[in-house]
Amino acid sequence: PTEVFFSNVPYSTTEETLREVFAIAGPIVDFRFFKQPSGESRGMGVVTFEDHDAVLRAVQNLRDAEVDGRKMWVATNTRSNEPGDSKRGPPSRGATQPQVVTRSSRVFFSNVPFDVTEDALLTLFQEVGNVKELTLFRKKEDGQSRGMGHCTFQSTSMAAAAIQALRDRDVGGRPIWIAEDTKAVALDAFVMQ
């Protein structure tokens, strides 16, 4: 893949600012900022680079980088550009979606409003399977939600089901982003050696 997904960016951040940030990783081929039907930013999007090495540099160096006062999330974009994938969010009804396959039982989620509770998220994730652990990231200073975290399921198939069924679901008025937690995959590979 030559794309990264980014989220948790303030709505006021401009495309120009983000292009400058991502250019650190390598030459940008395409930049898509996800927007509401009103044209307002959704605080997330996809950047396409010339090569896979730039993707690795972006994930390694820009994940948790502070952009306009917030720590941005960056991950390899696992969503394909199949028919129905649009620049503004979920596939249209009736569009065929590729089957999601994961190597980890843990997913990363973001774009959750700060007032959504862990209990509400647990209820959401339990729709697709048994949850072993759910962590909502919080600020050290005041304990306020950071609007992101990870959820560990009992199996990789449950994690895949969460990505397939729950990604872009409205949670507290915002579409939740869910992707395989690539840090968990790397850790599993390290532990197995």
- Token pair 């982003």 is found at 177
Arithmetic mean of pLDDT, 175-183: 85
Contacts of residue 170, defined as CB under 8 A and 6 or more positions apart, other chains included, come to: 176
CA dist., res. 97 & res. 109, Å (int): 20
Instruction: Name the residue with tokens 């503004």.
Output: 88
Q: Tell me how crowded residue 141 is: count the other CB atoms within 10 A of its CB.
A: 6
Please check the confidence at residue 158 and state whether its pLDDT lies above 50. yes
Closest CA to 125 of 111, 109, 137, 146: 109
Which helix (H) or strand (E) segment is 76 a member of?
strand 73-76
DSSP secondary structure of 85-143: -BTTBSPPTT---PPP--S-SEEEEE---TT--HHHHHHHHTTTS-EEEEEEEE-TTT-
- Provide, rounded to the nearest whole percent, the portion of the chain with pLDDT above 90: 37
Average pLDDT of the chain, as a whole number: 81
Q: Please, which residues bridge with residue 135 across strands?
A: 150
What confidence tier does 136 reach under pLDDT thresholds 50, 70, 90? very high
Q: Is the pLDDT of residue 100 over 60?
A: yes
60-90 pLDDT tens trace: 889 888 999 888 888 887 654 433 343 334 4
Whole-number Å distance between alpha carbons of 7 and 155:
26
Rg (CA), the chain: 16
* Higher-confidence position of 161 and 1: 161
Predicted pLDDT of residue 150: 93
Query: Mapping DSSP to helix (H, G, I), strand (E, B) and coil, where does residue 33 land?
Result: strand
Q: Please tell me whether the overall predicted TM-score, pTM, comes out greater than 0.85 for this model.
A: no
C-alpha closest to that of 68 among 43, 88, 32:
43
